[in-house]
Amino acid sequence: MNTICQNLNSRLKLIGALSVLLLSHSFPLLSQSERTIKLSGDYYWGEAHDHSDLLAKKGALQDLMFKIQVTVNAKLTSEITEENMDFQEKTNSVVSTFSSITLSGIEYMINENKDIYTAIAYISKENYQKSIDKISLEVIELIRLSEKQELENGIDKAIQNYYIAYLKTFLCPEPIFYKSQIDNIVYRNIQPFLYSKIEAFLDELTIEPENPRIDASVGMVTIPIKVNYHSKPVNDLLVNIRNEARQTIINGNAELFLYSLPSSAEVNHHIAIELKLDENYANNVIVDLSKTQRIIKQKNITIDFRDVIEINFNVEKQMSDALKFKPVYRNLSISDFFWDFGDNSTSHEQSPAHYYKNDEFYFVTLTLNQSQQLSVTKKVSANADIFPSKNQIFANETQQPDITKQTNKEIIDPLLHEKNYSDLIKKLTILKKQGKLMFGKKSVFIKPSNCYIFIVEPQKKLIIAVLDKGSNARKNLLTQEIISDLNTQYKGMIPIYVEVSL
């Protein structure tokens, strides 16, 4: 028994000696100040080793910020909602990078041993808290100013300051608590709230394109656009549209640029719109943040090119009695030609020659880019006569036969049931191919008074009225209302003129 106890005591002494030896080798250079930093609990610290003292300092700072973020995340897990936690996790790396700039009181200790530098970056928890309080106060004061502006003049006047406040939250490693003056809600983390506020503002902006301008010599299209917030023009707002140079929207006006000619009459276009920082009110750090923390909303717009493009064709009789068909078009990028000669013959050549066996009249249709919107039909004789001979777009040009009320009613009445633009165009196109009507802009008709007018609301593409024939006052066939001033009542709407040809 004594022998066992003696052996156990010997082993315990050996373990104790080894522990002392290991501890002495673990911290051979640990000075009193290093012990205080690492063991007192009064500091956040990070450590790194490198052959370069500068890289060692950089690594130590990264390690310090990582440890701070781990501590913050542990706190967030128990203090904020899951939604805010998810948001915070997405932004941790940015917070870690930029918040180190605003922490006041970070210091370094550097030791060298055998060409290896050991750097320790540290900040007292007292100085850390002072820095947190300082940046939190700056953000809170800016939000208070923004809310005051919103209450007095609307969010569109306050949105720039909301955006700067959002960017400044990335300078703070911890969530910023705030009680809103508008809704009296306490936000435990103001960053997701600011993000959603800016995103909602961008989402509610409306982008309405106006008539485009085309410079065919350089292939550039300029599209004036109206930018409104709740139907009111936006003023003095910096935005980035389609990742191009920033623009200041004045009285709701801005411009979109395309660098190729249109290939159809209407183009559905996707644009990205985001806030741009007014650099006169921010330092370089905030400017850098604005380049990484972008809040972007995708907008869909429809650009109508019908007023700036032209489609037509000419016919020349050849010595062989064949007819040479030559397309005429302006401000268009063409990838496909399709000719329907009206006698069950077709061609995809650009300028085909065609021989008619019978000396009759034929409805010849040219369709570009396989689009029914880029289509023109003419009545052509085997002798190259065209009836009537006139440039046109989106319409048939035929002789003006006698029109009876019964025929008009048979053609028009079924169209009164169409509710949207797409369905109407499909029906009109079919009837046009059958030679029963022609449709298009007012300018292509010799007597617009002989035309019915379908009124289209451009945003929702709905048919809001169908006007009877007439020179002055016209009846709305949907409501039986008499419309005396077409231009005033349907300002901003799209009129489609339809003339029955039977």
43-47: Cβ within 8 A, 24+ apart:
43/122, 43/123, 43/124, 43/125, 44/68, 44/71, 44/122, 44/123, 44/125, 44/128, 45/120, 45/121, 45/122, 45/123, 46/120, 46/121, 46/122, 47/118, 47/119, 47/120, 47/121
CATH of region 202-304, choose from 2.60.40, 2.30.30, 1.10.10, 3.30.160: 2.60.40
pTM higher than 0.75:
no
CB 494 within 8 A of CB 446: no
Question: Strand, coil or helix: what is 61?
Answer: helix
Number of C-beta neighbours around residue 64 at 10 A: 25
Give the CATH number of domain 310-393: 2.60.40.10
Residues forming a β-bridge with 224: 255
CB 269 within 8 A of CB 301: yes
CB 421 within 8 A of CB 464: no
What pLDDT tens digit does each residue of the chain (502 aa) get?
444 444 445 544 443 443 333 333 334 445 668 888 888 889 989 999 999 999 999 998 888 888 887 777 766 665 555 445 444 544 555 556 677 777 888 899 998 888 899 999 999 989 988 988 998 999 999 999 999 999 999 898 899 899 999 999 988 888 888 988 888 888 888 888 899 899 999 999 988 898 899 988 778 888 898 999 988 888 877 777 766 667 778 888 888 888 888 888 888 888 888 888 776 666 778 878 888 888 888 888 888 898 888 899 999 999 888 999 999 999 999 999 999 998 989 999 999 999 998 888 898 999 999 888 888 888 898 888 876 533 344 433 333 333 334 467 788 888 998 888 888 988 888 888 777 888 888 877 777 888 899 999 888 889 999 999 887 788 899 888 888 888 888 888 889 999 887 5
Scan for tokens 């203090």, then name that residue: 79
Same fold, 202-304 and 310-393: yes
Cα(452)–Cα(412) distance, integer angstroms = 8
Task: Please give the span between the terminal C-alpha atoms of the chain, in angstroms, as a whole number.
Answer: 126
CB 391 within 8 A of CB 312: yes
- Phi and psi torsions of 373, nearest 5°: -70, -25
Closest CA to 121 of 68, 191, 81: 68
Instruction: Name the pairing type of β-strands 375-381 and 396-397.
Output: parallel
Closest CA to 248 of 221, 279, 218: 279
Q: List the beta strands (DSSP E) in 88-211.
A: 107-113, 116-124, 178-179, 186-187, 205-209
Question: Strand, coil or helix: what is 214?
Answer: strand
Domain boundaries, the chain: 202-304, 310-393, 400-502
